[in-house]
């Protein structure tokens, strides 16, 4: 499990470094100055980390109804994030003329955000599968450890010797989303935020 998370983190670090390196280096076409900070969608994504944790805790305590509720809330929050990403891409392609082929910035931006959106989509499909089973009463308290695998929790017994470590994949995905968001907020090419 630790190997999977380390590999995923490494892939995203490479994409983030490429994005940050090429963000303001394109000689033609749009640059990072056209990006808008997606505050609402980021709040939805980060909140889904809390709701999936609450869902698993509810199931482990035997509260099937709360589990189902929080699982569906998690799915809705993730879907809102993906819809926001789609609208952002539509704006960038139609209104700003930024495509994956436009310049290096476009290539790195769409690669990074696309990879992240792909991971969120896979997570939502997995959560939706469990939610459907839960809807028909096939997920019970005894299944909590298996459901917790969706958050890819690794306890450090064999991953890191002599340390208890909890790594949660959704939290890692959400943390990785903060890097491009922070760079967009601090880019000198962007106008100051209205707040």
* End-to-end Cα spacing for the chain: 41
Rounded CA-CA distance 109/115 in Å is 10
Domain ranges of the chain: 2-186
**C-alpha separations of 64 from 9, 68, 141, 184 in Å:** 33, 6, 7, 41
Rounded CA-CA distance 158/134 in Å is 31
Q: Is 152 left (phi over 0), alpha (psi -120 to 50) or beta?
A: left
Q: What percent of the chain has pLDDT over 70?
A: 76
Q: Mean pLDDT in the chain?
A: 79
Rounded CA-CA distance 48/18 in Å is 27
Q: Which class does domain 2-186 fall in?
A: mainly alpha
Please state the pTM of the whole predicted model: 0.75
Q: What would the pLDDT profile of 23-77 be if each residue is shown by its tens digit?
A: 778 788 888 889 888 899 999 999 998 999 999 999 999 999 999 999 999 999 9
Rounded CA-CA distance 17/180 in Å is 10
Q: What is the dihedral of CA 131, 133, 136, 137, to 10 degrees?
A: -100
């Amino acid at each position: 499990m630790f190997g999977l998370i380390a590999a995923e983190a490494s892939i995203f670090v490479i994409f983030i470094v490429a994005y940050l390196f090429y963000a303001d280096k394109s000689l033609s076409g749009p640059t990072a100055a056209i990006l808008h900070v997606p505050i609402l969608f980021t709040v939805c994504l980060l909140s889904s980390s809390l709701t999936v944790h609450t869902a698993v805790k509810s199931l482990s305590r035997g509260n099937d109804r709360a589990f189902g509720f929080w699982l569906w809330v998690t799915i809705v929050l993730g879907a809102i994030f993906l819809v926001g990403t789609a609208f952002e891409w539509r704006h960038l392609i139609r209104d700003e003329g930024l495509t994956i082929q436009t310049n290096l910035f476009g290539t790195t931006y769409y690669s990074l955000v696309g990879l992240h959106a792909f991971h969120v989509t896979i997570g939502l499909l997995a959560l939706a599968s469990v939610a459907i089973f839960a809807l028909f009463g096939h997920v019970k308290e005894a299944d909590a450890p298996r459901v917790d695998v969706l958050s890819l929790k690794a306890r450090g017994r064999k991953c890191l010797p002599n340390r208890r470590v909890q790594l949660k994949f959704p939290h890692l995905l959400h943390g990785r989303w903060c890097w491009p968001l922070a760079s967009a907020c601090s880019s000198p090419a962007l106008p100051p935020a209205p707040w």
